[in-house]
Amino acid sequence: MEDYTLPFWVYLLVVTVLVGGALKKVLASHLLAPPLLLGASVLGGAPLLLMVLLVLLVLMVLLYCRSHPLADLPSHGKAVLITGCDSGFGQATARRLDSLGFQVFATVLDLNSSGAKDLQRSCSSLLTLLRVDITQQSHVQQALTKVQSLLGPRGLWALVNNAGVCVNFGDAELSLMSNFRGCMEVNFFGTLSVTKSFLPLLRLSRGRIVNISSPAGDQPFPCLAAYGASKAALNLLTSTLRHELEPWGVQVCTVLPSSFRTGQSSNSEYWEQQHQRLLQDLPPALLQDYGEDYVTETKDLFKSHASRADPDLRPVIETIVRALLAPRPRPRYFAGPGIGLMYFISSYLPDNLSSRFLQKVFVKKTLLPRALRKESGIHLRINNNNNNNEEEKKGEEEKLK
């Protein structure tokens, strides 16, 4: 079964309970029409029977829709612009859409990069590479002019906003302001710039927008404040555009991937460079309060998490294809294992349980900041699962004095 099967049945159960409970309250109220009250009194068990029948009807409709999906729209003749195709989701999506017969416009930062050359070699003549830094309005405008000249009177069927960066790891207090600005500049303002520029072409074709976001924009993942804040802004923008563009016939979707190995995530040198830059730029007093070992542990946890990420990008790519070709696309798509379950937990369980769940599935900090260790008077690992011998413990305590 597919990864989202379990969450689907969980959601189905929740819907059934809510509908049943609501109907029970309605039937128990004094606002019903006299004929219904009369019928209920005559039939005795009618209210319960009506509730059961309504629940069964809901189940039948949902199961029918699930087992009889509408046929996908044809892909041939449709033009799609995809940002951030140097590597990762963007590059794989460009290759996949090209194989389906789309006319693909793929933006890259460097036309001479290995990723750009790989796309040129492996794709058809329908694919066009465009050099675009989405944070530069002049680049975006040049791309728009190029796309318009190639499409002629035709509109652009879809825009896939994939380009994004995650330039930080660590507590919000430790994250540099340049990291917050860098994430917002690419993930939010860059995406907004591309979207606004190409909307006239999308409105012309009554097409759609697919934004690749992240669960970090909805969930408080530890040590991802800068990235999560930029994706939260993107998620709200996407929801707003969905309502505003509905009269134009332009449909807007969000794709929320789970953990996949893309970009610099598997590059060990990248993590080390980010770590060294952070240590150099932090104010000495702040570094003293947190401790270099605390910062180093965070870096090691991120590297470990990235090394376990799924290298198979197909779940995300096929989700993007569904969002592009579905006659009635969903507002949100979960791509990859565990995402539906995570959103269910965050939506229906208490906040403290949801937070614990996030800490279990993401970076599992064991060290407390150094200042807190001093206050407690002991060398503290949060889980107290330290196997150091007594001599090592004494040595650490001496260092803290």
Give the number of other Cβ atoms within 10 Å of residue 181's Cβ.
14
Q: List the strands of the sheet with 332-335, edge to edge.
A: 128-131, 103-108, 79-82, 158-161, 208-212, 251-257, 332-335
Q: What are the structure tokens assigned to 327, written together?
A: 């006659």
Give the number of other Cβ atoms within 10 Å of residue 208's Cβ.
23
Secondary structure of 78-105 as H, E, C letters: CEEEECCCCCHHHHHHHHHHHHCCCEEE
Q: 4, 227, 290, 294: which one is catalytic?
A: 227
The three-state secondary structure class of 186 is helix
Pairwise CA distance, residues 97 & 82, whole Å: 10
CA distances from 1 to 6, 248, 267 (A): 9, 37, 33
Half-sphere CA count of 387, side-chain side, radius 13 A:
0
CA 148 to mean position of chain CA atoms:
30
Q: Is 227 a catalytic residue?
A: yes
Q: What are the structure tokens assigned to 281, written together?
A: 């730029």
Pairwise CA distance, residues 94 & 97, whole Å: 5
Q: Catalytic site residues?
A: 227
